[in-house]
Each structure stands twice: as structure tokens, then as C-alpha cells.
Amino acid sequence: MKTFSAKKLRGSVLFLAGLFSSAVVAQQLPDFTDLVSENSAGVVNVSTTQSISRESLPRDFEIPDLPEGSPYHDFFERFLDELPEHRRNTQSLGSGFVISGDGYILTSVHVIKDASEIVVRFNDRREFEAEVVGLDERSDVALLKVPASDLQVVEIGDPAALDVGEWVLAIGSPFGFESTATAGIVSAKGRSLPNENYVPFIQTDVAINPGNSGGPLFNLDGQVVGINAQIYSRTGGFMGLSFAVPIDIAMEVADQLKTKGRVTRGWLGALIQSVTRNLAESFGMPKPVGALIAEVVPGSPAAHSELKPGDVIVEYNGERLDEMSDLPPRVGATPVGEEAELEIIRDGKRKTVTVVIGELPVKGTEAERGAEDDSDDLVLGMRLETVQEEDQEELQVDHGVKVMEIVDGPARDAGIQPGDVLLQIKGEKIANVDQVRELAGDLPDDKSVPVLVKRGARSLFLALKPPGNSSENGVTQ
């Protein structure tokens, strides 16, 4: 009779346990087959034709500054001389999806912008030439219309119900490979990207590549929760960071484009910045939260309210603002002409301010728009000059002192740079260098103070610690 040694028996048990564990894991993984088969008909490939000519080049296009005798200089000159008056290129550039059976389709603006012809192709090989109903560059959402009816429509979901870690799936045409499905999880919500203040993006690790743009992001219930719009990449290909426009924002944009041909958003008219730990301390806040007003745009809704630079907005219409990026989407979603109630912190105390929200200008963003003393003495590690009246227009200020030089010290630690104009220190308007010197002598040595500076076209607050206390002190979060 054959017997098993203890070692062999233990190995067999481990092998069976491994098989059982793998089976359990496989059962826990989602099965996307039904989701893909039931929704692929509502996802389309978007191809565009663009006309390229000398006139279509940017107005400021110039031959790059290359070394004398460089062969590339001749190449660029020949390129400009030989560029035909009209050259047509056809490329499969993106994806889209059907939101109504009578032919309305959502995609991304950058997929169809400047196209002379747009062709939408369905997975049953039907093709239609599409017209642009409207587009909104701020959200990168475009609405198309094709002459078709009885189209399969995707189901719209609720992105607010998404949880970080939840499975999601994308269907699109990466690199022109139609009806490609890729899956991943929600990595984060409410992401704010550069130049995209009004969209709280959904971040995923779903594989998104060129051609996926404009395609739908599905939850496990087969509902569209976002439009795949951007990737973060150093190579041009997928690197694990993908971003989608929440579908509720996209549908609101589509509704406005359909009904009035353009999109209106609420506007506060204040340049805001994040509240750092040191700034929170300087404003008497227990922890860094909210959006700090660095500048109020003249003539804006904020300018017609009680708001002023140095206020920290911590609530908007009863909703808490944990980050600066929480504010723009809420303001943008507020109907023009409606009153908004803002909870602010000013001088360490809470205050409620009411603002009548205006309409965001079509062009530009929220962020667009003394006594003489030439002392060379250093103040807080800065060499300063009072801004003279004849220089105020160029510097876009009506008061302040200009930072001419920075050496090691509190100013450098605070992030102040040569060329900055100091406008306020600890809430006090700065008129000349002597005033800065006087204020510097009265600053507390145990905490940061807020300093408002003008840097180019923008204003921002920085937290400055007086000499002898420039190290970072921990604040319990």
C-alpha cells in the first residue's frame, strides 16, 4: 500500500489551496462580456477631414531659430515654399456615443475641431456625415448630429455615485482599432487639471490612447459615467493616468448646445489659490481648507460684493470646500443671476457673504485682466524699490514696492521672486519701502503672515515667516 510523506501531503494541500484561491479571485473579477455586447452599438468611430494650407498655419509661425548653416533651416524654408494651397488629410481621430435615437452624438472638441468634414461610423458599418451642433472648449465636449433614426442609445449614469476603486470600462477606437474595450478602476474623483478649472475630472487607470477621445466610460451597470478626454503621458501613449469628463456635466453642456447653441456658466470674478499649511496658520485657521482670494476682478460679481483679497472661502451654498479646485465647478454650475451664499474666514472669524453670480465671459478666464524711496538696504532678505507712478501701468498695479533682488532669508523661503510687487503684508496695503521696513520690525516671530504679491498678470498670497522662525512647524491635520 502506497503512503504519502508529510512533505508531499503538505505540498498537495498547498497546491489545492492555491487552486481554490485562484478560483475565488476569478469569481470576484467582473465579467464585461455582456456589458460590451449590449453597448457597442451605441459607440461610434469619428473620422475627420482637415484642410491644411499656408493660411491655416498659426499667424505667429516662424522658422525655428536654428544655427547658421543648419540643414533644417533649408528644410523649413522648402516646407513653407512647397506647401500646397490646399492639402486634405483624412484620419480616424476619435470616438463618440449616441445620446438620443434621432442622431445626437457626444464626442470631444479636440476630435472634431477645425474639421471640414466629419464622418461617424457605427459598428454595423453604416456611415453618416455629421454636422456640428455646437462645441464647448472649456469642458472639451462637442455635440454632433447625424441624419439617422432609431439608433441604439447608451444609458446615462450618475458619476456622483462612483466610488474610488470601482471597476469601469471604456469602449473606443484607439489608433483606429474600432470597438476596443479596456477596463480598469476609478483612481480618483474631482481632479482639477491645468487650464480646466470647470471640470472635476474622473481619474482612472483604464488604458486610453489616441482615438479613445470622446468615447464613453461605463460603470458595471452598463451606464455611461464619463467621456474619456485626456491622458497624462510622457511618451504620447497610455501610462496609467486617464481622465474623463463626468457625464452629468457633459449632458448639461449638450442640453445648452442643443437649445441655445452655446454654453453659459456662472462667474464669481475672483482669482483664487490653494491654502497651504503656512497660509492657514497666518490666517488663524486650524487647518488648510478652502479657496483663498488673491485678487478681485474689477467690475465682477465679487467686486460688487463684500469679498476682498485675503478672504478664504470655505463653503459655497452650504457645501464644504476642502480644496481650491472644489470652487470653480460649483460656481460654473450656478445659474447666472442667482444669489450664492459664501462662508468665508476673514481675520480668523467666519462670515457669510452673498454674491449675485454673473456670466463667465466668453473670452478670458477668472484669472485674466507712494512715497519715493530708493533705499538699497535689505528688508527680510529683499532689496526693494517703491513703484513709481510712471511704472504702475506697466506693472498693472496702483501701489506697492518691487522686489529687485532676493538673498537667503524669509522672503526666499516664502517663495517671493525678483520682479514681484509686494501689495500687502498682513492685510496692510503697501505704499513704500519704509512701510515694509516698519512692518518687518513688528512681525511676530512665532507664526507666518500673509503677503500679497503681484507676479506678472496674476496676484497670489504667500506665507512669510520672520527671521529666526523659517522652519516648517507641523500642524495636525
What amino acid positions are annotated as catalytic residues? 110, 140, 213
Cell numbers linked to 60 = 505667429
- Report the C-alpha gap between 443 and 469 in whole angstroms: 11
The alpha helices in 154-313, defined as continuous H runs, are 247-260, 277-282
| Cα 118 to Cα 134: distance, rounded to the nearest angstrom | 13
CB atoms within 10 A of CB 80: 13
Three-state SS at 111: helix
Distance CA 32, CA 168 (A): 10
CA angle 73, 77, 78 (to 5 degrees): 115
- DSSP class of 175: G
Q: What is the largest CA-CA distance in the chain?
A: 108
Closest CA to 269 of 307, 319, 318: 307
Q: How far apart are CA 432 and CA 371, in angstroms?
A: 6
Query: In the block, which residue shows the cell 491645468?
Result: 194
Query: Could you tell me which of 137, 130, 124 has the C-alpha nearest to residue 104?
Result: 130
Strand partners, 312: 292, 345
DSSP state of 443: S
- Contact status, residue 198 vs residue 329, Cβ threshold 8 Å: yes
CB atoms under 10 Å from CB of 112, counted, come to 23
